[in-house]
Amino acid sequence: MAKETIEEGTGPAGAASRSSGLDNGKTGVRGAGSGYDLRILNFLRRITRAVDIQSRKVAAVYGITVPQVVCLVKIVEEGSTTITSLSKSVYLSSSTVVGILDRLEEKGLIERRRDRVDRRLVHLTATKKGRDLVDKTPSLVQESLCNAFRDLPELEQATIALSLERIVELMEAPELEVVPILDLPVEQGGES
């Protein structure tokens, strides 16, 4: 039955595609794969906008950006961590994390200490001021979302979490294989 409604353009996908005025003969969306791609894109844009609005509120009230809060929370949770470990756990590049850490250190929220044995390693710890800020900073996700999500049945919570995880997997670029310079082909017959 569900298959018939989608093919006839009457189910949720058909309604969304009819309202957009696009048509590919199957799902009502011209040039789109399943008819859901435009809906997914719009939902992702709405999520991004909501996160941006919440980020601005946190920055205005607490004088710290959401990426800074995310890094600071992770440092507090770990007790002590390194830049490489932190960048992997918050899904940001090391160069981005270094800039964030510079600002956190300027605000007196973290300390950096070089490892005594391996001077290349820098250990990050939160100061008392940093731990206090983490304790008073509200959830980075809108409170209304947190409350509504908690009220959902556990199966629905798991379904949403797994669906979002799958979207992230689909969107992430596959790992690029790094080829050593020595493996590159050498041109023959050039200057000697």
pLDDT tens, 85-139? 999 998 888 899 999 999 999 999 999 999 889 888 899 999 999 999 988 876 6
Query: Any bridge partners for residue 126, and if so which?
Result: 110
Give 179 or 149, the one with higher predicted confidence.
149
**Residue 113 belongs to what domain range?**
64-138
Q: Are 104 and 130 in contact (CB under 8 A)?
A: yes
CA 49-52-57 angle, to 5 degrees, is: 130
Same domain, 90 and 154: no
Place of tokens 């719009």: 42
Place of tokens 């919440």: 54
Please state, in angstroms and rounded to a whole number, the distance separating the CA atoms of residues 33 and 23: 11
Give 20 or 69, the one with higher predicted confidence.
69
3-state secondary structure 133-176: HHHHCCCCCCHHHHHHHHHCCHHHHHHHHHHHHHHHHHHCCCCC
Query: Any bridge partners for residue 124, and if so which?
Result: 81, 112
Average pLDDT, the chain: 76
Same domain, 42 and 75: no
Last residue of a domain, one of 32, 62, 92: 62
pLDDT band at 31 (very low <50, low <70, confident <90, very high): low
Same domain, 41 and 55: yes
Whether residue 179 is contained in a domain is answered as no
Residue 126: closest CA among 88, 86, 72: 72
Give the pLDDT score at 167.
86
Give the predicted TM-score (pTM) of the model: 0.62
Please state, in angstroms and rounded to a whole number, the distance separating the CA atoms of residues 74 and 146: 20
Number of folded domains in the chain?
Answer: 3
Whether residue 36 is contained in a domain is answered as yes
Same domain, 55 and 85: no
* Helix, strand, coil tally for the chain in percent (to 5): 60, 5, 35
Give the range among 43-57, 79-93, 139-153, 175-189 with minimum mean pLDDT: 175-189
CATH number, domain containing residue 85: 1.10.10.10
Same domain, 100 and 71: yes
Same domain, 132 and 167: no
Q: Are 110 and 104 in contact (CB under 8 A)?
A: yes
Whether residue 182 is contained in a domain is answered as no
